[in-house]
Chains A and B, each alone.
Chain A
Protein backbone atom coordinates (compact mmCIF):
# COMPACT_ATOMS: atom_id res chain seq x y z
CA UNK A 1 0.00 0.00 0.00
CA UNK A 2 1.35 3.33 -1.02
CA UNK A 3 1.33 6.00 1.59
CA UNK A 4 1.69 9.56 0.63
CA UNK A 5 1.22 12.62 2.72
CA UNK A 6 -0.05 15.81 1.25
CA UNK A 7 -0.99 19.10 2.78
CA UNK A 8 -4.52 20.11 3.04
CA UNK A 9 -5.50 22.38 0.21
CA UNK A 10 -3.60 20.87 -2.62
CA UNK A 11 -4.69 17.45 -1.51
CA UNK A 12 -8.27 18.39 -1.16
CA UNK A 13 -8.14 19.52 -4.74
CA UNK A 14 -6.68 16.24 -5.85
CA UNK A 15 -9.11 14.26 -3.80
CA UNK A 16 -12.01 16.25 -5.05
CA UNK A 17 -10.84 15.68 -8.56
CA UNK A 18 -10.53 11.98 -8.11
CA UNK A 19 -13.82 11.67 -6.39
CA UNK A 20 -15.56 14.21 -8.52
CA UNK A 21 -14.40 12.33 -11.51
CA UNK A 22 -15.46 9.03 -10.09
CA UNK A 23 -18.80 10.17 -8.97
CA UNK A 24 -19.69 11.58 -12.29
CA UNK A 25 -19.66 8.09 -13.62
CA UNK A 26 -21.60 6.61 -10.75
CA UNK A 27 -23.90 8.06 -8.20
CA UNK A 28 -21.97 8.26 -4.98
CA UNK A 29 -21.19 11.90 -4.90
CA UNK A 30 -22.88 12.91 -1.69
CA UNK A 31 -21.22 10.19 0.28
CA UNK A 32 -17.77 10.95 -0.90
CA UNK A 33 -18.15 14.63 -0.38
CA UNK A 34 -19.15 14.21 3.19
CA UNK A 35 -16.06 12.35 4.17
CA UNK A 36 -14.24 15.54 3.44
CA UNK A 37 -16.74 17.87 4.96
CA UNK A 38 -17.96 16.23 8.09
CA UNK A 39 -14.81 15.76 10.17
CA UNK A 40 -14.67 19.49 10.63
CA UNK A 41 -17.33 19.36 13.29
CA UNK A 42 -16.09 16.14 14.78
CA UNK A 43 -12.93 17.50 16.26
CA UNK A 44 -14.00 17.05 19.83
CA UNK A 45 -14.71 13.41 19.45
CA UNK A 46 -12.14 10.87 18.62
CA UNK A 47 -14.48 8.38 17.12
CA UNK A 48 -15.19 9.88 13.76
CA UNK A 49 -17.61 7.05 13.25
CA UNK A 50 -20.49 8.91 11.77
CA UNK A 51 -18.54 10.85 9.24
CA UNK A 52 -16.47 7.88 8.30
CA UNK A 53 -19.46 5.83 7.42
CA UNK A 54 -21.04 8.43 5.27
CA UNK A 55 -18.18 7.97 2.89
CA UNK A 56 -20.29 5.28 1.39
CA UNK A 57 -18.38 3.51 -1.06
CA UNK A 58 -18.82 0.38 -2.83
CA UNK A 59 -16.73 -1.48 -0.32
CA UNK A 60 -17.28 -2.93 3.09
CA UNK A 61 -17.73 -0.27 5.73
CA UNK A 62 -15.30 2.35 6.80
CA UNK A 63 -12.58 2.06 9.33
CA UNK A 64 -12.60 4.98 11.68
CA UNK A 65 -9.61 4.85 13.92
CA UNK A 66 -9.84 7.66 16.37
CA UNK A 67 -6.77 8.63 18.28
CA UNK A 68 -7.15 9.58 21.90
CA UNK A 69 -4.58 12.36 21.88
CA UNK A 70 -6.37 15.55 22.88
CA UNK A 71 -8.69 16.83 20.22
CA UNK A 72 -6.99 15.16 17.32
CA UNK A 73 -8.97 12.58 15.42
CA UNK A 74 -8.14 10.50 12.43
CA UNK A 75 -10.79 9.33 10.03
CA UNK A 76 -10.16 6.83 7.34
CA UNK A 77 -12.63 6.80 4.51
CA UNK A 78 -13.83 3.83 2.59
CA UNK A 79 -11.67 2.53 -0.11
CA UNK A 80 -13.36 3.84 -3.20
CA UNK A 81 -13.05 1.91 -6.40
CA UNK A 82 -12.03 3.95 -9.39
CA UNK A 83 -11.29 2.80 -12.86
CA UNK A 84 -7.64 2.81 -12.01
CA UNK A 85 -7.84 1.05 -8.67
CA UNK A 86 -8.77 1.83 -5.11
CA UNK A 87 -8.42 5.27 -3.61
CA UNK A 88 -8.52 5.64 0.15
CA UNK A 89 -8.14 8.85 2.08
CA UNK A 90 -7.34 9.46 5.74
CA UNK A 91 -8.07 12.80 7.33
CA UNK A 92 -6.54 14.12 10.52
CA UNK A 93 -8.67 16.61 12.39
CA UNK A 94 -7.13 18.82 15.06
CA UNK A 95 -9.27 21.20 17.09
CA UNK A 96 -12.06 20.93 14.62
CA UNK A 97 -9.92 21.75 11.63
CA UNK A 98 -8.51 19.45 9.03
CA UNK A 99 -4.81 19.31 9.74
CA UNK A 100 -3.70 16.78 7.16
CA UNK A 101 -5.02 14.55 4.48
CA UNK A 102 -3.21 11.33 3.76
CA UNK A 103 -3.95 9.36 0.68
CA UNK A 104 -3.32 5.91 2.09
CA UNK A 105 -4.11 4.06 -1.09
CA UNK A 106 -3.66 5.45 -4.55
CA UNK A 107 -3.88 3.46 -7.72
CA UNK A 108 -1.03 4.87 -9.75
CA UNK A 109 1.68 3.02 -7.89
CA UNK A 110 3.64 6.22 -7.82
CA UNK A 111 3.73 7.84 -4.43
CA UNK A 112 5.22 11.17 -5.33
CA UNK A 113 2.65 13.78 -4.52
CA UNK A 114 3.73 16.26 -7.17
CA UNK A 115 3.34 13.59 -9.79
CA UNK A 116 -0.27 13.07 -8.91
CA UNK A 117 -1.19 16.52 -9.93
CA UNK A 118 1.11 16.58 -12.88
CA UNK A 119 -1.03 13.76 -14.14
CA UNK A 120 -4.32 15.15 -13.02
CA UNK A 121 -7.18 14.31 -15.30
CA UNK A 122 -8.67 16.83 -17.63
CA UNK A 123 -12.12 17.59 -16.29
CA UNK A 124 -14.48 17.65 -19.20
CA UNK A 125 -17.12 20.25 -19.12
CA UNK A 126 -20.67 19.29 -19.88
CA UNK A 127 -21.07 21.79 -22.63
CA UNK A 128 -18.24 23.76 -24.06
CA UNK A 129 -17.51 26.55 -21.70
CA UNK A 130 -16.75 30.21 -21.92
CA UNK A 131 -13.35 31.14 -20.58
CA UNK A 132 -14.94 33.64 -18.23
CA UNK A 133 -16.94 31.00 -16.44
CA UNK A 134 -14.07 28.54 -16.25
CA UNK A 135 -11.67 30.63 -14.14
CA UNK A 136 -8.66 29.56 -16.10
CA UNK A 137 -5.09 30.85 -16.15
CA UNK A 138 -3.93 29.68 -19.58
CA UNK A 139 -5.31 28.00 -22.67
CA UNK A 140 -3.81 24.92 -24.26
CA UNK A 141 -4.68 24.42 -27.89
CA UNK A 142 -3.36 23.75 -31.34
CA UNK A 143 -0.48 26.08 -32.08
CA UNK A 144 -1.58 29.67 -32.17
CA UNK A 145 0.29 31.88 -34.56
CA UNK A 146 1.21 35.42 -33.69
CA UNK A 147 -1.26 36.51 -36.38
CA UNK A 148 -4.01 34.45 -34.80
CA UNK A 149 -3.22 35.56 -31.29
CA UNK A 150 -5.30 38.73 -31.37
CA UNK A 151 -8.82 37.76 -30.57
CA UNK A 152 -7.79 34.45 -29.02
CA UNK A 153 -8.88 33.32 -25.59
CA UNK A 154 -5.28 33.49 -24.42
CA UNK A 155 -5.06 37.09 -25.54
CA UNK A 156 -8.14 37.91 -23.49
CA UNK A 157 -6.63 36.26 -20.43
CA UNK A 158 -3.36 38.12 -20.87
CA UNK A 159 -5.16 41.42 -21.15
CA UNK A 160 -7.38 40.77 -18.16
CA UNK A 161 -4.21 40.35 -16.13
CA UNK A 162 -5.88 38.22 -13.48
Chain B
Protein backbone atom coordinates (compact mmCIF):
# COMPACT_ATOMS: atom_id res chain seq x y z
CA UNK B 1 0.00 0.00 0.00
CA UNK B 2 2.55 2.56 1.05
CA UNK B 3 6.29 2.40 0.72
CA UNK B 4 6.41 1.76 4.45
CA UNK B 5 5.01 -1.70 3.98
CA UNK B 6 7.92 -2.62 1.77
CA UNK B 7 10.51 -1.92 4.43
CA UNK B 8 11.63 -5.08 6.10
CA UNK B 9 10.61 -5.00 9.70
CA UNK B 10 12.80 -5.78 12.62
CA UNK B 11 11.65 -8.05 15.33
CA UNK B 12 9.29 -6.37 17.72
CA UNK B 13 9.16 -7.16 21.43
CA UNK B 14 5.78 -6.71 23.08
CA UNK B 15 4.58 -6.22 26.65
CA UNK B 16 1.09 -5.94 28.11
CA UNK B 17 -0.02 -4.79 31.54
CA UNK B 18 -3.07 -3.32 33.23
CA UNK B 19 -3.34 -0.16 35.28
CA UNK B 20 -6.04 2.50 35.78
CA UNK B 21 -8.55 -0.11 34.66
CA UNK B 22 -7.15 -0.20 31.16
CA UNK B 23 -4.69 -2.28 29.17
CA UNK B 24 -1.24 -0.88 28.47
CA UNK B 25 0.50 -2.28 25.40
CA UNK B 26 4.09 -1.64 24.44
CA UNK B 27 5.97 -2.57 21.27
CA UNK B 28 9.72 -2.06 21.15
CA UNK B 29 12.08 -2.27 18.18
CA UNK B 30 15.79 -1.81 17.82
CA UNK B 31 18.77 -2.07 20.09
CA UNK B 32 17.12 -2.51 23.49
CA UNK B 33 13.89 -4.12 22.31
CA UNK B 34 14.50 -7.47 23.94
CA UNK B 35 17.23 -6.89 26.50
CA UNK B 36 17.34 -6.01 30.18
CA UNK B 37 17.30 -2.25 29.53
CA UNK B 38 14.12 -2.60 27.50
CA UNK B 39 12.44 -4.68 30.20
CA UNK B 40 13.53 -2.22 32.89
CA UNK B 41 12.08 0.67 30.87
CA UNK B 42 8.77 -1.20 30.55
CA UNK B 43 8.71 -1.74 34.33
CA UNK B 44 9.35 1.96 34.79
CA UNK B 45 6.48 2.84 32.45
CA UNK B 46 4.09 0.74 34.50
CA UNK B 47 5.39 2.16 37.77
CA UNK B 48 4.92 5.70 36.47
CA UNK B 49 1.32 4.93 35.48
CA UNK B 50 0.61 3.31 38.86
CA UNK B 51 1.86 6.45 40.61
CA UNK B 52 -0.42 8.55 38.44
CA UNK B 53 -3.35 6.31 39.31
CA UNK B 54 -2.67 6.64 43.03
CA UNK B 55 -2.68 10.42 42.79
CA UNK B 56 -5.45 10.98 40.24
CA UNK B 57 -7.88 8.09 40.45
CA UNK B 58 -11.49 9.11 41.00
CA UNK B 59 -12.24 5.49 41.87
CA UNK B 60 -9.93 5.47 44.87
CA UNK B 61 -11.46 7.42 47.76
CA UNK B 62 -8.00 8.00 49.23
CA UNK B 63 -6.39 9.50 46.12
CA UNK B 64 -5.28 13.12 46.25
CA UNK B 65 -7.83 14.00 43.59
CA UNK B 66 -10.70 12.34 45.46
CA UNK B 67 -9.75 14.19 48.64
CA UNK B 68 -9.37 17.40 46.68
CA UNK B 69 -12.82 16.89 45.20
CA UNK B 70 -14.31 16.45 48.68
CA UNK B 71 -12.64 19.66 49.79
CA UNK B 72 -10.39 17.90 52.28
CA UNK B 73 -7.28 19.20 50.53
CA UNK B 74 -6.28 22.22 48.49
CA UNK B 75 -4.09 21.90 45.37
CA UNK B 76 -1.20 23.18 47.46
CA UNK B 77 -1.49 20.07 49.66
CA UNK B 78 -1.11 17.79 46.65
CA UNK B 79 1.93 16.71 44.64
CA UNK B 80 2.88 19.39 42.10
CA UNK B 81 1.63 17.33 39.14
CA UNK B 82 -1.93 17.82 40.39
CA UNK B 83 -1.68 21.54 39.68
CA UNK B 84 -0.11 20.80 36.30
CA UNK B 85 -3.05 18.60 35.35
CA UNK B 86 -5.64 21.06 36.65
CA UNK B 87 -3.94 23.84 34.68
CA UNK B 88 -4.12 21.71 31.53
CA UNK B 89 -7.81 21.20 32.24
CA UNK B 90 -8.46 24.93 32.62
CA UNK B 91 -6.58 25.62 29.41
CA UNK B 92 -8.60 22.97 27.57
CA UNK B 93 -11.83 24.41 28.93
CA UNK B 94 -10.92 27.81 27.50
CA UNK B 95 -9.85 26.53 24.09
CA UNK B 96 -12.98 24.37 23.76
CA UNK B 97 -15.40 27.09 24.79
CA UNK B 98 -16.33 25.14 27.90
CA UNK B 99 -17.17 21.84 26.21
CA UNK B 100 -14.22 20.22 27.97
CA UNK B 101 -13.93 20.59 31.70
CA UNK B 102 -12.46 18.80 34.67
CA UNK B 103 -15.47 20.07 36.64
CA UNK B 104 -18.35 17.96 35.39
CA UNK B 105 -21.99 17.98 36.35
CA UNK B 106 -22.58 15.04 38.68
CA UNK B 107 -25.71 12.88 38.91
CA UNK B 108 -27.25 15.09 41.60
CA UNK B 109 -26.51 18.28 39.71
CA UNK B 110 -23.53 19.21 41.84
CA UNK B 111 -20.19 19.72 40.12
CA UNK B 112 -17.70 16.88 40.46
CA UNK B 113 -13.94 17.17 40.06
CA UNK B 114 -12.95 14.64 37.39
CA UNK B 115 -9.61 15.27 35.69
CA UNK B 116 -9.72 11.89 33.88
CA UNK B 117 -9.99 13.66 30.52
CA UNK B 118 -6.52 15.07 31.05
CA UNK B 119 -4.86 12.38 33.12
CA UNK B 120 -4.68 9.46 30.74
CA UNK B 121 -2.81 11.16 27.91
CA UNK B 122 -0.70 13.20 30.26
CA UNK B 123 0.28 10.16 32.33
CA UNK B 124 1.13 8.05 29.27
CA UNK B 125 3.21 10.86 27.79
CA UNK B 126 5.08 11.17 31.08
CA UNK B 127 5.53 7.40 31.37
CA UNK B 128 6.98 7.30 27.86
CA UNK B 129 9.96 9.30 29.09
CA UNK B 130 11.42 6.00 30.32
CA UNK B 131 11.31 4.77 26.72
CA UNK B 132 12.65 7.92 25.07
CA UNK B 133 15.98 7.55 26.86
CA UNK B 134 16.62 4.10 25.35
CA UNK B 135 19.20 4.71 22.63
CA UNK B 136 18.51 3.41 19.11
CA UNK B 137 15.23 1.94 20.26
CA UNK B 138 11.82 2.63 18.82
CA UNK B 139 8.68 2.36 20.90
CA UNK B 140 4.95 2.39 20.45
CA UNK B 141 3.02 2.70 23.72
CA UNK B 142 -0.75 2.39 23.92
CA UNK B 143 -2.69 3.37 27.03
CA UNK B 144 -6.16 2.01 26.41
CA UNK B 145 -6.11 3.02 22.76
CA UNK B 146 -4.25 6.31 23.07
CA UNK B 147 -0.81 6.01 21.56
CA UNK B 148 2.57 7.69 21.71
CA UNK B 149 5.40 6.40 19.58
CA UNK B 150 8.82 7.05 18.11
CA UNK B 151 10.91 5.24 15.55
CA UNK B 152 14.49 4.38 16.31
CA UNK B 153 16.05 6.10 13.33
CA UNK B 154 14.95 8.06 10.28
CA UNK B 155 15.29 5.05 8.02
CA UNK B 156 13.01 2.84 10.06
CA UNK B 157 9.50 2.14 8.91
CA UNK B 158 6.93 4.27 10.69
CA UNK B 159 4.66 2.64 13.23
CA UNK B 160 1.35 1.85 11.63
CA UNK B 161 -1.59 2.79 13.79
CA UNK B 162 -4.99 1.39 12.95
CA UNK B 163 -7.98 3.56 13.82
CA UNK B 164 -10.85 1.38 14.91
CA UNK B 165 -14.29 1.55 13.43
CA UNK B 166 -16.56 2.89 16.19
CA UNK B 167 -19.41 0.83 14.75
CA UNK B 168 -17.37 -2.39 14.90
CA UNK B 169 -14.24 -2.32 17.06
CA UNK B 170 -13.00 -5.49 15.36
CA UNK B 171 -12.43 -3.47 12.21
CA UNK B 172 -10.55 -0.38 11.15
CA UNK B 173 -11.67 2.76 9.36
CA UNK B 174 -8.19 4.14 8.71
CA UNK B 175 -4.49 3.55 9.11
CA UNK B 176 -1.97 6.24 9.94
CA UNK B 177 1.79 5.83 9.76
CA UNK B 178 3.61 7.72 12.52
CA UNK B 179 7.35 8.30 12.76
CA UNK B 180 7.25 10.31 15.96
CA UNK B 181 4.11 11.57 17.62
CA UNK B 182 0.83 10.70 19.24
CA UNK B 183 -2.61 9.42 18.25
CA UNK B 184 -5.61 9.66 20.57
CA UNK B 185 -9.20 8.63 19.97
CA UNK B 186 -12.27 9.62 21.91
CA UNK B 187 -15.59 7.95 21.42
CA UNK B 188 -18.21 5.76 22.95
CA UNK B 189 -17.50 2.37 21.44
CA UNK B 190 -16.31 0.49 24.51
CA UNK B 191 -17.51 2.21 27.61
CA UNK B 192 -20.78 3.48 26.31
CA UNK B 193 -21.31 7.20 26.66
CA UNK B 194 -18.83 8.53 29.18
CA UNK B 195 -17.82 11.82 27.62
CA UNK B 196 -20.24 14.68 28.08
CA UNK B 197 -20.37 18.25 26.86
CA UNK B 198 -19.54 20.02 30.11
CA UNK B 199 -21.83 22.92 29.16
CA UNK B 200 -24.92 20.71 29.07
CA UNK B 201 -23.89 17.61 30.97
CA UNK B 202 -25.21 15.56 28.09
CA UNK B 203 -23.37 13.23 25.73
CA UNK B 204 -22.63 14.72 22.31
CA UNK B 205 -24.78 13.70 19.38
CA UNK B 206 -23.95 13.14 15.76
CA UNK B 207 -20.36 12.05 16.33
CA UNK B 208 -19.16 8.49 16.89
CA UNK B 209 -15.42 8.99 17.38
CA UNK B 210 -12.70 11.60 17.00
CA UNK B 211 -9.05 10.74 16.42
CA UNK B 212 -6.38 13.43 16.82
CA UNK B 213 -2.73 13.32 15.76
CA UNK B 214 -0.31 15.65 17.46
CA UNK B 215 3.27 15.83 18.61
CA UNK B 216 2.36 14.99 22.20
CA UNK B 217 -0.19 12.58 23.61
CA UNK B 218 -1.16 15.12 26.27
CA UNK B 219 -2.37 17.46 23.52
CA UNK B 220 -3.85 14.76 21.32
CA UNK B 221 -5.90 13.19 24.13
CA UNK B 222 -7.30 16.50 25.39
CA UNK B 223 -8.19 17.63 21.89
CA UNK B 224 -9.82 14.33 20.98
CA UNK B 225 -12.07 14.57 24.01
CA UNK B 226 -12.70 18.29 23.47
CA UNK B 227 -13.68 17.76 19.85
CA UNK B 228 -15.84 14.72 20.60
CA UNK B 229 -17.70 16.58 23.35
CA UNK B 230 -18.76 19.19 20.81
CA UNK B 231 -20.74 16.74 18.69
CA UNK B 232 -21.47 18.12 15.25
CA UNK B 233 -18.93 20.92 15.76
CA UNK B 234 -16.11 18.39 16.27
CA UNK B 235 -14.45 18.72 12.87
CA UNK B 236 -14.68 22.49 12.51
CA UNK B 237 -13.34 22.97 16.01
CA UNK B 238 -10.46 20.56 15.37
CA UNK B 239 -9.63 22.44 12.20
CA UNK B 240 -9.16 25.56 14.32
CA UNK B 241 -6.44 23.93 16.39
CA UNK B 242 -2.78 24.44 15.43
CA UNK B 243 -0.52 21.56 14.43
CA UNK B 244 -3.16 18.88 14.56
CA UNK B 245 -4.61 16.50 12.08
CA UNK B 246 -7.35 14.04 12.68
CA UNK B 247 -10.33 12.02 11.68
CA UNK B 248 -13.94 12.45 12.72
CA UNK B 249 -16.28 9.50 12.27
CA UNK B 250 -19.89 10.61 12.38
CA UNK B 251 -22.79 8.60 13.75
CA UNK B 252 -23.91 7.67 10.26
CA UNK B 253 -20.49 6.22 9.44
CA UNK B 254 -19.34 9.05 7.21
CA UNK B 255 -16.01 10.68 7.94
CA UNK B 256 -14.25 14.03 7.81
CA UNK B 257 -10.48 14.36 7.74
CA UNK B 258 -8.84 17.41 9.26
CA UNK B 259 -5.35 18.45 8.29
CA UNK B 260 -3.62 21.59 9.48
CA UNK B 261 -6.68 23.73 9.66
CA UNK B 262 -8.33 22.36 6.53
CA UNK B 263 -11.42 20.23 6.46
CA UNK B 264 -11.25 17.60 3.79
CA UNK B 265 -14.68 16.85 2.46
CA UNK B 266 -15.89 14.44 1.44
CA UNK B 267 -13.83 11.63 2.84
CA UNK B 268 -11.16 10.25 0.57
CA UNK B 269 -9.96 6.70 0.50
CA UNK B 270 -6.65 5.12 -0.15
CA UNK B 271 -6.33 3.64 -3.60
CA UNK B 272 -4.37 0.69 -2.32
CA UNK B 273 -7.11 -0.93 -0.31
CA UNK B 274 -9.82 -1.41 -2.85
Contacts and interface: CB of A to CB of B under 8 A. Distances in A.
Contacts of A24: 268-271
B264 A83 contact: yes
A9 B171 contact: no
Interface in A1-31: 6-10, 12-13, 16-17, 20-21, 23-25, 29
A59 interface: no
Contact of B189 (A10, A121, A141, A149): A141
Interface in A41-71: none
A107 B247 CA distance: 20
B270 A126 contact: yes
Contact of B162 (A12, A117, A119, A134): A134
A7 B27 CA distance: 24
B174 A122 contact: yes
A137 B21 contact: no
Q: Is the interface of B mostly helix, strand, loop or mixed?
A: strand
A125 B270 contact: yes
Interface in B163-189: 163-166, 168-189
B37 interface: no
Interface of A (DSSP majority class): mixed
Nearest to B272: A20
Interface string B231-274: 00000000000011111000000010101101010011111111
Interface residues of A, number: 61
Contacts of B70: none
Contact of B169 (A107, A152, A162): A152
B260 A119 contact: yes
Nearest to B246: A122
A150 B87 CA distance: 35
B159 A137 contact: yes
B137 to A, nearest CB: 15
A122 to B, nearest CB: 4
B142 to A, nearest CB: 5
B16 A142 contact: no
Contact of A125 (B166, B189, B245, B269): B269
B127 interface: no
A5 to B, nearest CB: 10
Interface in B196-251: 209, 211, 213-215, 243-247
A117 to B, nearest CB: 4
25 contacts: A9-B7, A10-B156, A10-B158, A17-B2, A29-B271, A117-B180, A119-B181, A122-B245, A122-B257, A123-B270, A136-B160, A137-B160, A138-B27, A139-B162, A139-B163, A141-B145, A141-B164, A141-B169, A142-B164, A142-B186, A143-B22, A144-B144, A153-B169, A155-B16, A162-B9
